[in-house]
Amino acid sequence: MSDTFDELWADLAPLGRHRSTGGYRRYSWTGADTQVRDWFGAAATARGLSVETDRNGNLWAWWGRPGPGAVVTGSHLDSVPDGGAFDGPLGVVSALAAVDELQRRGLRPAVPLAVTVFVEEEGARFGVPCLGSRLITGAIAPDRARELTDADGVTWAAAMTDAGLDSDRIGPDPDRLAQIAVFVELHVEQGRALVHQDAPVGVASSIWPHGRWRLDFSGQADHAGTTLLADRNDPMLPFAETVLAARSAARAHDAVATIGKVHVAPNGTNAIPSRVRAWLDARAPDEAALRAVVAGVDAAARDASAAHGVALSSYQESFSPVVDFSTALRDRLAALVGGDRPVPILPTGAGHDAGVLATAVPTAMLFVRNPTGVSHAPEEHADAADCHAGVAALADTLAELTGA
Ligand code: HGY
Ligand code: MN
Ligand code: MN
Ligand code: MN
Is 122 among the annotated ligand-binding positions? Answer: yes
pLDDT at 167: 97
Label the pairing between strands 59-63 and 70-76. Answer: unpaired
The topology (CATH level 3) of 210-320 is Alpha-Beta Plaits (3.30.70)
Give the position, in ligand 1's atom list, of the atom nearest the Cα of 376. 5
The string of pLDDT tens digits covering residues 101-125 is 999 999 999 999 999 999 999 999 9
**Average pLDDT of every residue of the chain:** 97
Contact 12, 39 (CB under 8 A): yes
Is 233 among the annotated ligand-binding positions? Answer: no
| Average pLDDT of the residues in 246-261 | 98
What are the domain boundaries of the chain? 2-208+322-402, 210-320
Instruction: Please state, in angstroms and rounded to a whole number, the distance separating the CA atoms of residues 392 and 201.
Output: 10
pLDDT at 1: 58
The architecture in CATH of the region 2-208+322-402 reads 3-Layer(aba) Sandwich (3.40)
Contact 73, 60 (CB under 8 A): no
Ligand 1 contact via 121 beta carbon (within 6 Å): yes
Is 352 among the annotated ligand-binding positions? Answer: no
Nearest CA to ligand 1 atom 4: 351
Residue type, 118: F
Ligand 1 pocket test, candidate residues 76, 121, 365, most atoms within 8 A of CB: 121
Report whether pLDDT(365) > 90. yes
Report whether pLDDT(341) > 90. no
Ligand 1 contact via 129 beta carbon (within 6 Å): yes
| Average pLDDT of the residues in 139-166 | 98
Whole-number Å distance, alpha carbon 187 to ligand 3 midpoint, is 7
Report whether pLDDT(3) > 90. no
Whole-number Å distance, alpha carbon 256 to ligand 2 midpoint, is 16
The candidate with the shortest Cα–Cα distance to 95, out of 62, 66, 121, is 62
Instruction: Please state, in angstroms and rounded to a whole number, the distance separating the CA atoms of residues 207 and 352.
Output: 8
| Average pLDDT of the residues in 126-135 | 98
Whole-number Å distance, alpha carbon 84 to ligand 2 midpoint, is 9
| Average pLDDT of the residues in 274-295 | 98
Report whether pLDDT(323) > 90. yes
Report whether pLDDT(261) > 90. yes
2 pLDDT tier (thresholds 50, 70, 90): low
| Average pLDDT of the residues in 187-213 | 97
Report whether pLDDT(274) > 80. yes
Which one of the ligands is nearest to 91 CA?
Answer: 3
Percent of the chain at pLDDT above 90?
98
The string of pLDDT tens digits covering residues 153-176 is 999 999 999 999 999 999 999 999
| Average pLDDT of the residues in 198-220 | 98
Q: How many residues are recorded in the chain?
A: 404
Q: How far is CA 401 from the centre of its chain?
A: 25
Give the position, in ligand 1's atom list, of the atom nearest the Cα of 123. 6
Tell me, yes or no, if the pTM score tops 0.90.
yes
Residue type, 372: T
340 pLDDT tier (thresholds 50, 70, 90): confident
Is 187 among the annotated ligand-binding positions? Answer: yes
| Average pLDDT of the residues in 259-288 | 98
Instruction: Please state, in angstroms and rounded to a whole number, the distance separating the CA atoms of residues 52 and 116.
Output: 10
Percent of the chain at pLDDT above 70?
100
pLDDT at 338: 87
| Average pLDDT of the residues in 20-28 | 96
Burial tier of 153 (Cβ tally within 10 Å: 0-12, 13-18, 19+): exposed
Give the position, in ligand 1's atom list, of the atom nearest the Cα of 80. 5
Is 108 among the annotated ligand-binding positions? Answer: no
Ligand 1 contact via 209 beta carbon (within 6 Å): no
Determine phi and psi for 166, rounding to 5 degrees: -95, 105
